[in-house]
């Protein structure tokens, strides 16, 4: 079964984590992390936004999160 997500709701903690880690991309390299939460109907509720991790691979055209960290 698939669900068409119509909206994404970020918790305050997830929003703050994204704001905190987003500037890491200012060096021109990709970055990211995992989003954790739950799906209720067509709304994705994100409770936690993780960071890339200390062993993430970051290049201008590629990103691989630190799997052990995630």
pLDDT in tens, 11-43: 999 999 999 999 999 999 999 999 999 999 999
The whole model's pTM is what? 0.81
User: Residue 25, Cβ neighbours under 10 Å: how many?
Assistant: 15
3-state DSSP assignment of residue 8: strand
pLDDT at 47 over 80: yes
DSSP notation for 19-67: HHHGGGGGGS------EEEEEETTEEEEEEE----TT-EE-SS-EE--T
Q: Is-contact 14 47, C-beta < 8 A?
A: yes
Q: Tokens in use for 54? A: 């200390």
């Amino acid at each position: 079964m698939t669900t068409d997500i119509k909206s994404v709701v970020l918790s305050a903690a997830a929003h703050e984590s994204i704001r905190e880690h987003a500037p890491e991309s200012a060096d021109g390299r990709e970055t990211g992390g995992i989003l954790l939460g739950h799906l209720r109907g067509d709304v994705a509720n994100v409770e936690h936004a993780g960071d890339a991790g200390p062993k993430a691979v970051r290049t201008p055209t590629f990103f691989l999160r630190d799997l052990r960290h995630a």
